[in-house]
Amino acid sequence: MILGSSLNRVLAALRDLLCIDTHIVELKPLPRRGSQREFFRLKLENELTFILVIYDPQRVENTYYTNIAHFLKEIGIPVPSIILNLEKENLIVIEDLGEKDLYSFREMNWEKIKPIYEKVISSIVKLHAYPPSQFPYSRVKISEGFNEWLYRWEREYFIENFVNDIVSLEVRSPLLKELEKEFEKLTQELMRIPSCLIHRDLQAQNIMVKNNSIYLIDFQGMRLGNPFYDIGSLLFDPYVALPQKARDELLELYCKEQTQPISIQKARYAVTKASIQRLMQALGAFGFLSKKKGLHEFLTHIPRALENLYYLLSLDDQMKNLRELVTECALKHGLKL
C-alpha cells in the first residue's frame, strides 16, 4: 500500500518536473500481475496521467527495471519512459501508455493485426542484434543468463507447480529418469544457439499498443539467452490463439530481418525446441501464480498452453515421454487433444 509520505514525495516531484501546481485527483489500482508489483493509475488535476509502480525489492529483478528501461531506450527499443525513480520507497512513476495491449486485439482478424505484430518482430530483432560484448554491465544490472541450471529449474518448476499441484499427477522414478534424458538433450539443443539479449517474457500482455505504435513492458527479466525463446513466447503465446499462417509469416519476417542470414528450416527447428521449453515454464508459472499467489485468472490460460505444447511435441520425435506426460495432463484437465 502507498504510504502518505511517499505519495506526497511523488506529487512534489511531479510538480517540480512539470512546473505546475497540481493535485492528485485519482489513484486507481490496476489489475494484479505476477511480478510482486502493485500498479496504480495516477491522475492529476490537469488530466495528466501516469502509472505508479510499487515493487518488492526481494524479487531482485524488480530493482533492475529502471536502468534496463533507460538502456533499451538508448538503443532504440520502444519502452515506456521513466518519469520518477524513488529508490528508497521502492517506487517508480512511468509513462501511461493507456489500456490497450496486444492481448486486447486477440479477436481481431489476422490481416488487421499483422502490422502490429510485425512491429514487435522488428523491435525484438533489434534487441537480439545488440552485441553482448558491448552491454554496459557496469551501470545496468541484468539477471544471470540462461544456462543448464536455469533450463533445469524451469522444467522442475513445471513438474512441481503444474504437473503435481494443478493436475495432481506424481511423476514416478522410471518416467522421471526418461524425462531427464530428454530434458538434457533439449538443453544441449537450446545452448547450441549463440546467446543474445532477450526479453524473456515476450507475450501479448507485455506489449502495449498506443497510436499504432508498440511498446515492450515487463522487461525486468531481460538476460542473455536463446533468441528463439522470445520468438516462441510470441508465436506460441498461451494468451492468444495465433493461426499457423501468422506464425509462419512472423518467423519468415524474423529470419529476413537478421543481419546474419538464417534459413527458415533451421529457424523452425530452433523455435520448436525453444517453445517447448518456454511453454513448460509458462505452465509452471500459471500453476504457481494461481495455487500459491491466489491469482486464479491464470488458470484460464492453461488449456491453450497445453494445446500448444502438445502440438509442438507432435513435431518432435525426440521427446516421446514428455508428449505422453502432456497427453495425460490434458486428459486429467478435461482436454481432448
Q: Do 299 and 164 have their domain in common?
A: yes
- Which band of pLDDT confidence, cut at 50, 70 and 90, is reported for residue 2? low
Domain boundary among 72, 95, 118: 95
Q: Do 296 and 162 have their domain in common?
A: yes
Q: Do 71 and 12 have their domain in common?
A: yes
pLDDT tens per residue, range 109-154: 999 999 999 999 999 999 999 999 999 999 999 999 999 999 999 9
Asked if 124 contacts 76 with a C-beta cutoff of 8 angstroms, the reply is no
In a domain, 122, yes or no: yes
Q: Do 255 and 278 have their domain in common?
A: yes
Q: Do 307 and 161 have their domain in common?
A: yes
Give the pLDDT score at 306: 97
Q: Do 287 and 160 have their domain in common?
A: yes
Q: Do 155 and 107 have their domain in common?
A: yes
What's the CATH code of the domain at 19?
3.30.200.20
pLDDT tens per residue, range 36-47: 899 999 999 988
More confident of the two residues 304 and 260:
304
- Which band of pLDDT confidence, cut at 50, 70 and 90, is reported for residue 5? confident
What's the CATH code of the domain at 205?
3.90.1200.10
Q: Which of 187, 184, 185, 214 is nearest to 199 (CA)?
A: 214
pTM here is: 0.95
In a domain, 263, yes or no: yes
| Mean pLDDT (the chain, rounded) | 95
The count of structural domains within the chain is 2
In a domain, 223, yes or no: yes
Q: Do 190 and 289 have their domain in common?
A: yes
Asked if 310 contacts 290 with a C-beta cutoff of 8 angstroms, the reply is no
Give the pLDDT score at 197: 98
Give the pLDDT score at 116: 98
The full DSSP string for 240-302 is S---HHHHHHHHHHHHHT-SS---HHHHHHHHHHHHHHHHHHHHHHHHHHHHTS--GGGGGGH
Report the sign of the C-alpha dihedral through residues 69, 235, 331, 333, in that order. Answer: positive
In a domain, 337, yes or no: no
Q: Do 168 and 197 have their domain in common?
A: yes
More confident of the two residues 336 and 104:
104
Q: Which of 280, 310, 331, 324 is nearest to 175 (CA)?
A: 324
pLDDT tens per residue, range 182-196: 999 999 999 999 999
Average confidence (pLDDT) over 277-289: 97
Q: Which of 173, 232, 174 is nearest to 202 (CA)?
A: 232
In a domain, 148, yes or no: yes
- What is the rounded CA–CA span in Å between residue 269 and residue 263? 10
Q: Do 184 and 328 have their domain in common?
A: yes
In a domain, 51, yes or no: yes
Residue 55's domain comprises: 4-95
Give the pLDDT score at 6: 83
Asked if 316 contacts 272 with a C-beta cutoff of 8 angstroms, the reply is yes
The beta-strand segments (E) located in 57-191 are 82-86, 91-95
Q: Do 18 and 117 have their domain in common?
A: no
- What is the rounded CA–CA span in Å between residue 110 and residue 307? 20
In a domain, 201, yes or no: yes
pLDDT of 1 over the 60 cut: no
Give the pLDDT score at 108: 96
